[in-house]
Structure 1
Amino acid sequence: MLTALNHIRIVEQGTFITGPCAGMMLADLGADVIKIESPGNGDPYRSFKTGFYSAHFQAYNRNKRAIGLDLKNEQDRDVFYQLVAQADVYIQNFRPGAAGRFGADYETLARINPKLIYCSISGFGPDGPYAQRPVYDSVAQAVSGFLSVAIDPQQPRFIGPALADAITGIYAALGISAALVERGVTGKGKRIDISMIEAMMHFAVEPFMGYFALGEEPSGVDRPRLAQAFIVRCKDEKLFAFHLSSLDKFWDALVEAVDGQALAADDRFSQRLKRIDNYEALNAELNAIFATRNRSEWLERFDRFDVPFAPINNISEVVNDPQAQHLGMFVPVAGRIEGAEQTVRPAYSFDGKHASAVRAAPVVNQHGDQIRSALGSDPQKWPEMQPAAPAH
């Protein structure tokens, strides 16, 4: 593990993705994250696909310790409050008002620990006309406007991973990090509220600025057209991508790479603004050219020219990609009881060192006895209970 935050203790009471992702981002940086779950089956994401240790749960809950607590039970609630008293951060992603029903609202926890950073993650914010609506990733993508600039309007459908969930978790971790820095100056905790709609609207700031500055309604095809980004299908049906941006040198290099002198001579494509206006026609011409060779041949050929390009790799291809291998992106999962043996490491390097392993996501209540017994000890001794793996 990395150790940048190894002096920080976090109590996370999150389910599914947003709260657990925020906790994982900080755990990846060395924070001691204690995940509180209901006894029994725990976080519903454990059983998202099969069993009680789904790959989806493993993805967002590594590097954490777990304890099962029923906050309706007085003794378990006392344990929870002891944890909060010794914590730096508390994270929850309940619907607004839910935390107060079991004594985990900001006012209660701030009285217990005035230095606590309290992070509440929701779908639509703590109040307002949508506050009590149920919300999941796809809903947040849609209502925020993000989906309208991320899909082809002619073939609209949801694709890809849970972007709104994960992006909101990352924003929450960023806000928590900033609050911890401020607390280092003021000595005071504070409440952070972040919602999925706010995170995704901020994430889509560029199309919003296009709307405000130009009065234009952005769509999902604007960015690739303006950036001159193309996806083409090769003879072997594999996909190939390249991005010409605004520099003529990339267009010139592309023409040379594909022996496309006819493209250069075509008045529709003779200038960048014309290539933007005739994007669909140029896309069709390029697909016809790329259909004449297998992708491996195009990759070998493009390696000799100054064009930003890449194969559209599937996940198994990325695992074997030379650059991913060089960066040491895949590391072992330490202390695993079940589940994956390796995973993607945190993206950061500090002083040239990155994490060389991650700790496995916990099973339900895996560290419950350990955490309960530690509550009576010196809080400064707690990090010794979860030593970091060496970085390299």
Structure 2
Amino acid sequence: MTDLPRVLSGIRVIDCSIAMAGPFAAQRLGDLGADVIKVEPTRGEWQRFASAGGAQGNAVNVSFLSLNRNKRSLAVDLKAEAGQRVVRELVATADVFLQNYRPGVAARLGLDYETLREVNPSLVYVSMSGYGEDGPYRDRPGQDLLLQAMSGAMLSAGRAGEPPSPAGQFLADAVTASTAFEAVLAALLHRERTGEGQLVTVNMLDALTTLQMQELSVYTVGHVPQERGSQPNAHVYIRAPYGVFATADGYIALGFADLETLGAVIGEPSFAGLDPEVEGWSHRDELYEKTAAALSTRTSAEWLDALLDAGIWAGPVYGYADLVDDPQIVHNGTFVEYEHPTEGTVKTPGFPYRFSRTPARIDRAAPLVGEHTSEILGELGYGGGDVATLLADGVLAETRLDAVGTGGRT
């Protein structure tokens, strides 16, 4: 069994990503047989040394182990010209290049798409970000909890009147990884057919929004409000303060704050001198309570301005009404509209990735039952009489557009 080829055997992937979403996507490619080369600093990626839920490894910690199997490691200094040259030479042999650098970093390193396409015109270049390659939120931290909060999903769980309910896993990271993985496969298929490489962009906000295809369509198409009932429908592994906090007029999400910096912003002197990786674990309840008490005194907008200015990871908690009209969502074109023969204009989440050469689009509305039965069977060589017989026998069903609203199903 071990000698059997895998579907991506012969494909080489250069993985210049960190944290979870990028490495997870690259790992999936490796699991399917791709030769994944992880490019990391000479000191090693930071996640090798970061504890996961407080779990400490002997030499390599749990987070890194869980996201980087089926890879080879190239430790290189990308700040050095010679190091950049090595990676560009490697790119010349590659099929896929994946990065989730902060905006502007890839270009500064000479590893942006326009540079690398000159090295390898057939390269599939995947750029991952938190909110989009550009737009009003391009420089915000793309951290999982903040994206969950903004996606509207938190207000689809828990009790009415209680704090919003985050997922018990790194949902935004996982969904973005799956989206990037899917996009790579599609771009490789296009290259197989045409020889063309292309730029593929994936962002966490669109990935998590489009994941809620049914829920958001209930709101945007069905016009059913997002209301929680009186009963709950809900990380213990992250240091405090990490979660959703009530403000004077709503909620905000807060994650991975330096305790001393946070204390200075919210006016809590007891946070001075605390080690986030020590007291952040041992005094989680106390830290949460003090943070919650302070944040309840001002509005969400006031706190977000103050926290973001201080470099603290914070973001708004949205419901669907906020999400649909958000300027970044509008800028991204996250939602699409199309006309349906029975439902009229349909507004729904669109595509979580962008292809520079093969853009996604809607060519067909959601089909009616058997709308294309005759068309498909015709492509298979069935004659009209054969189709009619199968329809009459109940083997097939068909809805004719010219008979919609008049009992046109056969």
Shorter-chain-normalised TM-score: which range? 0.5 to 0.7
- Name the counterpart of 1:28: 31
Report the CA distance between 1:148 and its aligned residue: 2.3
Q: Give deviations 1:142-196, integer Å, cap 9, x for gaps.
A: 1122222244452534341211111101100000000000101110100000100
Say which of 46, 49, 58 aligns to 1:47: 49
Matched, 1:209 2:217: yes
* Whole-angstrom CA distance in 2 between matches of 1:157 and 1:213: 24
Partner SS state of residue 214, structure 1: coil
- Name the counterpart of 1:110: 117
* Whole-angstrom CA distance in 1 between matches of 2:166 and 2:211: 18
Matched, 1:191 2:193: no
Report the CA distance between 1:219 and its aligned residue: 4.7
Cα 1:78–1:5 change in 2 (3 A) is: same
Name structure 1 gaps, 5 residues minimum: 232-392
- Name the counterpart of 1:342: none
- Name the counterpart of 1:12: 15
Q: Give deviations 1:77-97, integer Å, cap 9, x for gaps.
A: 121011100000000011222
- Name the counterpart of 1:285: none
Matched, 1:175 2:183: yes
CA contact 1:13–1:93 (8 Å) conserved in 2: yes
Return the structure number with greater relative CO, CA threshold 8 A, min gap 6.
1
Partner SS state of residue 133, structure 1: coil
Task: Provide the TM-score with structure 1 as the length reference.
Answer: 0.54
* Whole-angstrom CA distance in 2 between matches of 1:89 and 1:126: 19
CA contact 1:95–1:132 (8 Å) conserved in 2: yes
Name structure 2 gaps, 5 residues minimum: 235-410
- Name the counterpart of 1:237: none
Alignment size in residue pairs: 225
Task: Provide the TM-score with structure 2 as the length reference.
Answer: 0.52
Partner SS state of residue 216, structure 2: helix
- Name the counterpart of 1:135: 142
* Whole-angstrom CA distance in 2 between matches of 1:11 and 1:98: 16
Report the CA distance between 1:62 and its aligned residue: 0.5
Report the CA distance between 1:72 and its aligned residue: 1.6
| Higher helix proportion (structure 1 or 2) | 1
CA contact 1:95–1:123 (8 Å) conserved in 2: no
CA contact 1:115–1:183 (8 Å) conserved in 2: yes
Identical pairs, percent: 39
CA contact 2:149–2:166 (8 Å) conserved in 1: no
Q: Give deviations 1:195-237, integer Å, cap 9, x for gaps.
A: 0001000101111100112212225669x99xxxx89xxxxxx
CA contact 2:157–2:165 (8 Å) conserved in 1: no
Report the CA distance between 1:107 and its aligned residue: 0.4
**Residues 156-167 of structure 1 mapped to structure 2, 5 A cutoff:** 156-167=164-175
* Whole-angstrom CA distance in 2 between matches of 1:210 and 1:137: 24
* Whole-angstrom CA distance in 2 between matches of 1:25 and 1:148: 31
- Name the counterpart of 1:278: none
* Whole-angstrom CA distance in 2 between matches of 1:183 and 1:159: 37
* Whole-angstrom CA distance in 2 between matches of 1:123 and 1:110: 24
When the two chains are superposed, the root-mean-square deviation of aligned CA atoms in Å is 2.2
* Whole-angstrom CA distance in 2 between matches of 1:9 and 1:148: 41
* Whole-angstrom CA distance in 2 between matches of 1:46 and 1:157: 30
* Whole-angstrom CA distance in 2 between matches of 1:119 and 1:151: 36
Partner SS state of residue 66, structure 2: helix
* Whole-angstrom CA distance in 2 between matches of 1:120 and 1:107: 12
**Residues 1-392 of structure 1 mapped to structure 2, 5 A cutoff:** 3-40=6-43, 42-49=44-51, 50=56, 53-153=60-160, 154-219=162-227
- Name the counterpart of 1:311: none
CA contact 2:148–2:166 (8 Å) conserved in 1: no
Cα 1:68–1:208 change in 2 (3 A) is: same
Cα 1:74–1:109 change in 2 (3 A) is: same
Q: Give deviations 1:327-370, integer Å, cap 9, x for gaps.
A: xxxxxxxxxxxxxxxxxxxxxxxxxxxxxxxxxxxxxxxxxxxx
Cα 1:119–1:209 change in 2 (3 A) is: same
* Whole-angstrom CA distance in 2 between matches of 1:171 and 1:114: 23
Partner SS state of residue 221, structure 2: helix
* Whole-angstrom CA distance in 2 between matches of 1:220 and 1:113: 52
Partner SS state of residue 110, structure 1: helix
